[in-house]
Amino acid sequence: MNVLEIHDISKRFLLHPRQRLIARGSSEAAARHPEEFWALRDVSFQVRGGERVGIVGGNGAGKSTLLGIISGVIGPTAGRVERRGRLGALLTLGAGLHPDLTGRENVHLEASLLGFRRSDVMREFDSIVEFAGLEKFIDESVRTYSSGMVARLAFSVAIHVDPDILILDEVLSVGDQVFQRKCQAKIAELTDGEKTILFVSHQQEAVRALCPRAIWLHEGRIEMDGPTSEVLRAYSNSSISVDSIHGGSKDRAQLDEG
């Protein structure tokens, strides 16, 4: 049975030039009319329960935008998402944590946002804190945490809410090596339990090890969808893959939803 169905998803942003107008011939009138940027164009695919799907592509390909729409963080400009089951999303580790709340308060807040009941949070609380390695700091303000501590707490909450669908965006590229190994071990444990996983990473070996299927995005469209080894071979052999080391236009402009 499909747990995710993505139907003709498109997403438009508006590119706003910075205050300084540096292009020759530019004017204030032109600056008031922002350029459209389509992060996604007519993206459709299905994911069966228990599938592990890697999503690859260069910077600006639309990977994070796609995961944001699937998780409900942002809405599509067109198209729709059908999702079945509890979802846990790690789009940017710690992005949802409130800096003025303590670690303890953030555990309850994050878990509730992910659909966890208070009684479930209380039952899993000690395990969440232990996995994150924050026993001594759980009642301190998250504002005082290092980026690694924030990442550990966010990951621990997400994997302990027992999601049916787990969305991971570059989760293995943050934190120290010990934390990364714990992430890998926990993800492997979840896959043994037949969880559905969507995994974005520039680390091709990590995608290859975790995901039998991969989707290659380029300029907001699906370039290829199939067995991971075939998709990664095509992606690596294509000149398109050089985008991975160059920033996209989004890095040079402020994005607003259109």
pLDDT at res. 76: 96
Assigned domain for 29 exists = no
pLDDT at res. 193: 63
What pTM value is reported for the model?
0.75
Assigned domain for 38 exists = no
Between vectors from CA 43 to CA 38 and to CA 49, what angle results, nearest 5°?
140
The answer to whether 187 touches 168, Cβ cutoff 8 Å, is yes
Assigned domain for 142 exists = yes
| Rounded Cα gap, residues 212 and 53, in angstroms | 7
Q: Which residues constitute the domain of residue 181?
A: 49-246
pLDDT at res. 114: 72
pLDDT at res. 20: 44
How many structural domains does the chain have? Answer: 1
Assigned domain for 198 exists = yes
How far is residue 246 CA from its own chain's centroid?
20
pLDDT at res. 252: 37
- CATH number of the domain that residue 128 is part of: 3.40.50.300
Assigned domain for 110 exists = yes
| Rounded Cα gap, residues 221 and 80, in angstroms | 16
Assigned domain for 73 exists = yes
pLDDT at res. 145: 93
Instruction: Tell me the mean pLDDT per 10 residues along the chain, length 258.
Output: 95 70 52 79 95 93 92 92 82 72 93 80 92 94 89 84 81 67 77 81 88 96 97 85 45 48
Which residues does 144 contact at the CB level (< 8 Å), separation at least 6? Answer: 137
